[in-house]
Structure 1
Amino acid sequence: MPARKIIIDTDPGQDDAVAILLALASPDEIDVLGITAVAGNVPLDLTARNARVVCELAGRSDVKVFAGCDAPLERPLVTAEHVHGRTGLDGPTLPDPVMPLQDAHAVDFIIDTLRAEPTGTVTLCPLGPLTNIATALRRAPDIAPRIAGIVLMGGAYFEVGNITPAAEFNIYVDPHAAAEVFACGAPITVLPLDATHKALVTTARNDAFRALGTPVGVAVAEMTDFFERFDKEKYGSDGAPLHDPCVIGWLLRPDMFSGRHVNVEIETQSELTLGMTVADWWGVTDRAPNATFIGDVDADGFFELLTERLARL
């Protein structure tokens, strides 16, 4: 099978960084056509910087990185320095990137790539707010049927919210963008908190990253050392959930994940439940299914895969 062509749309973020590393470590299965940065965990100037930092950490300064939207469609930007630190990649000490940003805007790159590649061959992998993807769909509605699939990290059903009682961060930051993406008609797979909260970096799993003894292994261990303090304090968990790498994990080994094809709607009106992913898990409405909502992951298998791939970098 030829490698799957993907565009990673991201707001790095330590877990975004690990997702990028996992994709770049898997060239036989995944062809990263480009990385598009969006404002989210930290502002756009930092997410665009961090994406390049991670590419250089992986030894892949050839990957094209594009800066995209610096604010949500209709709301002020909400960021998450309280989780990810001032830079978004707090933890390891990594040098400023040397590789340049591309001149083109991320949205233009998404549109141009989907139009240039054969229909149904490019998968979009959003790891942050969906602003870039929704903006591309607004500007070029013709790209929707050309998308092979959208595999995203966001939302929750049973786990509900991590930024408000009802909403997961990525969807909450730009709920209007999320509503438009979920309505676009492209095949969508969602890696929500219900799955990602089962992919915990325990002490043993983090020790395995550090034991790789490589710059990548040590940096990932230091990222999760920093990242986990928030989740341990908040949830009392054994470690930090690696949310975004689950997207790449699903691309590589979908057999390790399970879920249901259901209808998912995004709440955009209520301040109380703004950004909630209303997943009809039990089929109690007559709304047509529009997304595969993942509920479970083989965490041991996922971390074995992740560690093995990181060792390649």
Structure 2
Amino acid sequence: MKHKIILDCDPGVDDAVALMLALGAPESIELVGVTTVAGNVSIDDVTRNARGLLALAGRTDIPVYQGCSRPLMKATGPRASVHGEGGLGNVRLDPTAVPLGDKHAVDFIIETVMANPGEITLCPIGPMTNVALAMVKEPRLAENLREIVFMGGAAFSPGNSTPAAEFNFYVDPHAAQIMVSSGAKLTMFGLDVTRNVTADQSWYAQLEAMRGEIPPTMARMMQVYAKGDPCMHDPCVIAWLIDSSLFSGVDAYVEVDHSAGISFGRSLAYMTEKHRAGRDINCKIITQADSVAVFDLIAQRLGSLQSS
């Protein structure tokens, strides 16, 4: 089953791996566009990085649209330093071969989804700001999506920005709540699963030894990132679309705490009928992954890419 996706991202090293993984799976994924949102680094940096990654892969045909530079309501917080200078593990890529789209990311999302009802899978792997604004601007968006598969939250485990909150949800919890309450079909890759998807040095050595420019370049990025966070969070979203048998999960009603206090940004999962109190299940929460198989998939698909 082929997925037509919009990748809404904030590259970021693990975002970069997710993007390259999508490009390396043409039998499973048609990447119709990339939208950017401030998160791991600034909006200018994430947009430059997305364009540079597509240029590295020779995919100048895929459009990039710049999105929101700040959260919906809260102040912009500190950036994620684990991604290195500029966001790609201290690697600088030339973006000039990939032009910047002439509209806002929110408008691209709306126009693409509404022109292809029931066909587009939206994959937000950064803060959910663009997604939420698109839903507010076009209230019919959720019902016209095929599904949303996202990286964010921590339903059953501690956060990584605070003890309660995962980074993407903490950056913009108001946006995350708009998304999870939208009625769209949701699949959640939170820290419950992604913090168990890790690789060792032998895997990076395997990438470095591959032919071509892309695998060694990605290995250099990931090794800088792994010093602060060894988990490959965002690629899990794309790996699921390629081979869902590598993962398993549970159904729940999910909401996001956006009230001021120590639980700000926390994702809550209501598992039982008693706790749901009449509320319908709105999300599949992925809780387990075959980490070795996920990294084998990443290595195989990165190795299949040819640089520009």
Deviation at 1:284, TM superposition (A): 4.8
1:176 to 174, 190, 214: 174
Question: 2:19 corresponds to which residue?
Answer: 20
Q: Distance in 1 between matches of 2:96 and 2:194?
A: 29
Question: 2:301 corresponds to which residue?
Answer: 309
SS of 2:87's partner is coil
Q: Distance in 1 between matches of 2:304 and 2:114?
A: 33
AA partner of residue 304 (structure 1): D
1:143 equivalent in alignment to 2:153: no
CA contact (8 A) 1:22 1:306 kept: yes
Question: 1:32 corresponds to which residue?
Answer: 31
SS of 2:5's partner is strand
CA contact (8 A) 2:38 2:68 kept: yes
Question: 2:54 corresponds to which residue?
Answer: 55
Give the count of matched residue pairs: 303
Q: Distance in 2 between matches of 1:289 and 1:150?
A: 15
Distance 1:97 1:79, change over 3 A: farther
Deviation at 1:98, TM superposition (A): 2.8
Percent identical pairs in the alignment equals 42
SS of 2:228's partner is helix
Q: Distance in 2 between matches of 1:59 and 1:98?
A: 9
Question: 2:236 corresponds to which residue?
Answer: 246
Distance 1:28 1:297, change over 3 A: same
1:77 equivalent in alignment to 2:69: no
Q: Distance in 1 between matches of 2:169 and 2:298?
A: 25
Q: TM-score, normalised by structure 2?
A: 0.95
Deviation at 1:143, TM superposition (A): 1.4
Q: Distance in 2 between matches of 1:89 and 1:224?
A: 8
1:92 equivalent in alignment to 2:91: yes
Question: 1:196 corresponds to which residue?
Answer: 194
Question: 1:289 corresponds to which residue?
Answer: 281
Deviation at 1:242, TM superposition (A): 0.5
Question: 1:269 corresponds to which residue?
Answer: 259
Deviations 1:192-234 (A, max 9, x none): 1111111102112211211213211011110111001113xxx
Q: TM-score, normalised by structure 1?
A: 0.94
Q: Distance in 2 between matches of 1:143 and 1:263?
A: 20
Deviations 1:220-262 (A, max 9, x none): 110111001113xxxxxxxx11000000001111111011010
Deviation at 1:139, TM superposition (A): 0.3
Deviation at 1:90, TM superposition (A): 2.4
Deviation at 1:129, TM superposition (A): 0.2
Question: 1:299 corresponds to which residue?
Answer: 291
Deviation at 1:282, TM superposition (A): 5.3
Distance 1:281 1:80, change over 3 A: farther
1:121 to 116, 119, 122: 119
Deviation at 1:278, TM superposition (A): 0.6
Q: Unmatched 5+ residue regions in structure 1?
A: 232-239
CA contact (8 A) 2:89 2:222 kept: no
Q: Distance in 1 between matches of 2:54 and 2:234?
A: 16
CA contact (8 A) 1:34 1:65 kept: yes
Deviation at 1:84, TM superposition (A): 1.2
CA contact (8 A) 1:43 1:79 kept: no
AA partner of residue 266 (structure 1): V
